[in-house]
Amino acid sequence: MFKNNPFADLALVLPAAAMQLFVIAMILLIIVSTGLDMIHKKNVIYFFRNAKKAKKSAKTELSAGKKTAVILKTVAHDIATTSELGLGKRRLAHVLGMYGTILFWIASVALIFNYTDGSIAPTYVTVTWHVGALMTCLGGYWFWFFLRVDVSAEAHPWYRIITADLFVLALLACATFGLAWSYTQFSDLVGLSYLFLILYIISNLILFGGVYWSKFAHMFYKPGAAIQKNLAEADGSRDNLPPPADAPEQFGLGIKREQPKHY
């Protein structure tokens, strides 16, 4: 199954150009919806105003080289490894989901644009597609059932769904139905194969068409916020916050009574 390119068989009944146009349409939905989200929430305006305010209260003028170093360090440490979550299950689940999704999307684009014309896709591309989907499912379902704050810390049931859950649920649906489609296609289960294909398409439409209402755009804001925070630390402005106290942290013995999970 891992060597199967589901898009190649689909190209026998659906033109490759139609699949490629679908991918382009999803990318346009991301751009337009994120733009609308920025206009509605005024996030970019906030970032610019905050950066301008920080520049006035900066204690050190950062050179271009220093700024570049801070940005690269932020990308490599804070963003690429989600270090803000600390060591533990939540960070591992996020890393699995994040890199699984990236691999899944990149491999999908590669398969659709390069290997739907009758040419055979390299094994490493098809394996990347399936492994990426599996990593997304592993990290996403682990997070959904066991690690969500409102489930693990606030005792809400796992099946309680709010608007903010649209992104993770649609993402999980894409990966799950994609794997199911590939398996049933590989196993010659034609009826189920078409069913899961339709569900896969619908889940993609919900995921990329629901950017405005979900936390999809959050993926673009968090890196910007992390970079701005570290630049403020480097130039001394600290977002107008006082420096940390030069004293050991004292939490008392009560912190040892239970595993911390109240975020």
Q: Per residue in 34-71, pLDDT tens? A: 888 777 777 767 777 777 776 777 777 778 888 888 88
d(CA 171, CA 148): 16
Question: Taking residues 217-237, what's their average pLDDT?
Answer: 77
Specify the pTM. 0.81
Q: What is the mean pLDDT of residues 163-180?
A: 91
Percent of the chain with pLDDT over 90: 35
Contact 60, 236 (CB under 8 A): yes
What is the spatial distance between Cα 59 and Cα 61, in angstroms, rounded to a whole number?
7
- CA dihedral of 137, 140, 142, 148, whole degrees rounded to 10: -170
Instruction: Give the torsion through C-alpha atoms of 69, 74, 80, 81, to 10 deg.
Output: 120
Residue spans of the domains in the chain: they are 6-52+61-237
Q: Which of 91-100, 155-164, 236-245 has the lowest mean pLDDT?
A: 236-245
Cα separation of 103 and 93, whole Å?
15
Side chain identity at residue 40, one-letter code: H
Residue 212, burial from CB neighbour count under 10 angstroms (0-12, 13-18, 19+):
middle
Q: Evaluate whether 141 touches 147 at the Cβ level (below 8 Å).
A: no
CA 106 to chain centre: 13
d(CA 239, CA 118): 56
Calculate the alpha carbon distances from 14 to 6, 17, 65, 119, 133 in Å.
12, 8, 51, 16, 23
Token digits for 160?
Answer: 């309680």
Cα 44 to Cα 28: distance, rounded to the nearest angstrom: 20
CA dist 138 and 168 (Å) reads 12
DSSP 74: I
184 vs 229, higher pLDDT: 184
Tokens 């590939």 locate to 182
How far apart, in whole angstroms, are the C-alpha atoms of residue 202 and residue 86?
35
